[in-house]
Structure 1
Amino acid sequence: MKKTFYSNGKLLITGEYLVLDGAKALALPTKFGQNLVVEKSNNPEIKWMSYDADESIWFNETIPISTITSKTTLESESIKNTLITILRVAHQLNPNKLSTSEGYIVTTQLSFPRKWGLGTSSTLINNIAQWFQIDAFTLLKNSFGGSGYDIACAQNNFPILYHLEQQKPIVEIVKFNPSFTKNIYFVYLNQKQNSKSAIASYKEKKNNLEAQKEVINQITLKVLNAENETIFAKLLENHEKTLSTILETKTVKETLFPDFNGTIKSLGAWGGDFVLIISEENPQSYFLDKGYETIITYKDMIL
């Protein structure tokens, strides 16, 4: 008998990086996500196959159950070893799921291209947590690391306000459906950003961030209640300036699109994945001319 699990992708609208230090963040689950299908087999191994959105196979491995239950050190970094690490932590949190007498056939399927960065890892972790019947935030913390906002998006079908309180996730479902969503677009920057290395870089740069954290908290709360497009755009521009100072990095608009007539906001790790665009005119021709072909409306992206 097959069991199927599903998790939503995510976009972090405010609070990137500082969410790691307790700042409040607005995050939106996406219409795109990933499923995981599990079927029992008679062999003590997990046959794992992962499909990208275009049905191509991007990962195909067989992992003995004994490798997952083992405590031997994994020497190198690889997709396979990352998966083994996640499964080992899941097994530690629920040792009753795996046995030495049977195994599983597992397939995963993304509904978004893996390179987009909408949560290939977070949707996987949340799906594995559902399969093992364990807490996904604990699984994330003990394996991959991160703030956990992406896990909250994986589990919820509504906008969320997210923050860490004494390193524990606080998730609040909020209303966020501004009247000007027709002027909001998401553009893929043609390169996937490594969130682990981006977080490491942030941790090297950060000093005492209490003042900046409060600035971001206020921006996040005001964004939720922005009455019109002008106020919303100004808040996001102030957010970009604040993070630019902290990260000692130019904003994406300054770097790539200085002549664009509208607002551009980085989402998640700076330097890749998607940006949010606010524009009264359809910006498609502008970005296509610059070689950016993935332009998605708010309606088509957000749950």
Structure 2
Amino acid sequence: MKKTFYSNGKLLITGEYLVLDGAKALALPTKYGQNLTVEEGPEQTIRWKSYDADGSVWFESDILFSSIVKKEKSDATDDIKNTLIEILHEAYLIAPNFIQKSDGYIIQTALTFPKFWGLGTSSTLINNIAQWLDIDAFTLLKNSFGGSGYDIACAQNDFPVLYQLVNEKPIVKPVVFNPSFSDKIHFVYLNKKQSSKTAIANYYNKQGNVSEIIQKINQITEAVIEATEPKEFALELQKHEIELSNLLEMQTVKEALFPDFDGIIKSLGAWGGDFVLVISKQDPTSYFKERGYEIVIPYREMIL
């Protein structure tokens, strides 16, 4: 019998990097996500196939049950397969019956967003696997891929969340965030996918005492959620950019790429790639397309 699971993609509006150290973060699930279907199969093997949003196959492999149990790395250059084996191995340690009491599986995944967008290819996969095996997705993430877990909160919920790690435990609080000025907000893809693992490592390399900046980011996050006017919303996000720029010792994306833009640009998640949030009085699509940034998505088309 075929079983199907679905998880939402994610965007982190505030608290990037610092969410790892307990800062409050506003996270929004997206209208885009990933499906996973599971059928029984033969030969103590998982026949795995992953489809991109355009229907093309971006990963295909047979994974032996024995490789999952022993966490046997595939060819050292096959990072995707090795990461998948690691995730499935950690799932096996929590719920061994899916290997011990099965003959095999045929599994397909299908993204509804292009995988290079960075909306949560890994987090939606981990949450779907956790749904399939009825295990805790936050634990599976922590044991395999790592990260704060805000993306799992988005995968599981159809509403904005205030996310925080308290004593390393995820606290997910639903919040009302439905800006009346959403027509002034767009998301722009920066033409390159950023590695979350690399960005987190860089953050820890630069990190000093972050307790003071966490307090500032918490205040900004609360103010962003409560903002009723676009100017107020934009001002808080601008403050956020300045604080993170100082901490990371990096230029803001506006300084680096769009110094002449008439509006506010806020990095989302790992700095230097994926999407940015743009607030402007006028539709900014033509501005960005003239500069080679073709993917400009209005708020209402992106956010659940």
Instruction: Map Cα deviations across residues 71-101 of structure 1 (whole Å, 9 max, x no partner).
Output: 5567836100000000000010001111375
The aligned counterpart of 1:270 is 271
Residue 253 of structure 1 contacts residue 264 of structure 1 at CA under 8 Å; is this kept in 2? Answer: yes
* Distance of 1:8 and 1:61 partners within structure 2: 25
The aligned counterpart of 1:149 is 150
The aligned counterpart of 1:42 is 42
* SS of match in other structure, 1:97: helix
TM-score by length of 1: 0.98
Instruction: Map Cα deviations across residues 131-169 of structure 1 (whole Å, 9 max, x no partner).
Output: 111000000000000000000000000000000000000
Gaps of 5+ in 2: none
The aligned counterpart of 2:234 is 233
* Distance of 2:50 and 2:33 partners within structure 1: 13
The aligned counterpart of 2:292 is 291
* Distance of 1:234 and 1:137 partners within structure 2: 33
The aligned counterpart of 1:12 is 12
Segments of 4+ moved more than 6 angstroms: none
Residue 263 of structure 1 contacts residue 278 of structure 1 at CA under 8 Å; is this kept in 2? Answer: yes
1:1-303 correspondence to structure 2 within 5 Å: 1-72=1-72, 76=76, 78-99=79-100, 102-303=103-304
* SS of match in other structure, 2:243: helix
* SS of match in other structure, 1:207: coil
1:42 deviates by 2.5
Residue 71 of structure 2 contacts residue 85 of structure 2 at CA under 8 Å; is this kept in 1? Answer: no
Partner letter of residue 118 of structure 2?
G
* Distance of 2:111 and 2:291 partners within structure 1: 28
Residue 186 of structure 2 contacts residue 277 of structure 2 at CA under 8 Å; is this kept in 1? Answer: yes
* SS of match in other structure, 2:59: strand
Residue 189 of structure 1 contacts residue 273 of structure 1 at CA under 8 Å; is this kept in 2? Answer: yes
Matched residue pairs, number? Answer: 303
* SS of match in other structure, 2:34: strand
* Distance of 2:99 and 2:143 partners within structure 1: 19
* Distance of 1:101 and 1:70 partners within structure 2: 17
* Distance of 1:189 and 1:84 partners within structure 2: 30
Residue 43 of structure 1 contacts residue 101 of structure 1 at CA under 8 Å; is this kept in 2? Answer: no
Residue 66 of structure 1 contacts residue 100 of structure 1 at CA under 8 Å; is this kept in 2? Answer: no
Partner letter of residue 69 of structure 1?
V
Instruction: Map Cα deviations across residues 188-218 of structure 1 (whole Å, 9 max, x no partner).
Output: 0000000100000000000000110000000
Residue 240 of structure 1 contacts residue 266 of structure 1 at CA under 8 Å; is this kept in 2? Answer: yes
* Distance of 2:23 and 2:136 partners within structure 1: 22
Instruction: Map Cα deviations across residues 218-257 of structure 1 (whole Å, 9 max, x no partner).
Output: 0000101002000000000000000000000000000000
* Distance of 2:2 and 2:27 partners within structure 1: 32
* Distance of 1:72 and 1:52 partners within structure 2: 26
Q: 1:35 to 1:101 in 2, by over 3 A?
A: closer
1:43 deviates by 2.0
Partner letter of residue 180 of structure 2?
S
Gaps of 5+ in 1: none
Residue 65 of structure 1 contacts residue 100 of structure 1 at CA under 8 Å; is this kept in 2? Answer: no
RMSD (Å), alpha carbons: 1.1
TM-score by length of 2: 0.98
1:41 deviates by 1.1
Q: 1:57 to 1:262 in 2, by over 3 A?
A: same
